[in-house]
Chains A and B, each alone.
Chain A
Amino acid sequence: MRSTKVGRVRTVTLRPDVMRQAEEWFARRRAQWDVKLDRLGAFLAAEAKQAEAEEKA
């Protein structure tokens, strides 16, 4: 975001440039990993539960 002031008027310019696209892309890569690693955690927990049930049986 760029902000310039001339007299009493402040102009704010939004710059949806490539730098911002890059930031968003990496934020999304990270968010996708978060989702995947959560899913992995759920899978590992289910696997442990199943192994425990099989041991008891």
Chain B
Amino acid sequence: MTARAESFRTRNSVPFLRQAAAIAAKDLRIEIRGRHALGTLLPFAATLLVSFGFAFGPGRDVLERTAPGLLWMAMLFAAVMAARRSYQAETEDDALEGLLLAPVDKAAVFLGKAIAVALELLVLVIAVLLMVVVLFDLSPGNPFALLGAFALGTVGLAAVGGLFGVVAEAERTREAVFPMLVLPLVTPVLIAGVRATDLATTGQAGEAAQWLGLLLAFDIVFVSVGILVFGHLMED
């Protein structure tokens, strides 16, 4: 534990957070150039929501009531795809080895990638919210509570996805292993996110506080644990 703490400071001249920021910036630059979030995730989310509409509709009542759930289901799938994409970019050019050899704190790689994925998801969730408001008659509700839920939720999803994204690129990984791993773990984000969104959009924003607290606790736990264990996933 002390060795780890030491490495944060003394590993190299660049401080830990700045390393993470650099990695996040790199990932975001790749993202902006490749337009994955806009080009792939957004249409995917739209398709998913329309499909939900067909599956649970056409009665507007059911759709309005399940709208927060559908929003977060779309975000869960998008998070899996975004996290996978984040690591795909590395393995495509064998850049992962470069990352391993670079004098970079492994935990900073995790934090940087998680930050990048979180920002992508945050942009995406705004768009998804607009789609849900339009398609399912969801009233926008309290913006602060909503933003809180989205910010905290996307961080949680990004932390878990960013942590295990390496597994998605393993040698014989069958397609389903990565989502199979991530989805059960982010259950608290799903439950709390949906509850908070539901309360925020039905005029009960005050009661959303406990769910936002749960999201915050989840984020703190997973970011901390991720920083601690990520190095073990990256060695080879």
**Do A and B come together as binding partners?**
no
Q: Which residues of A contact B (CB under 8 A)?
A: none
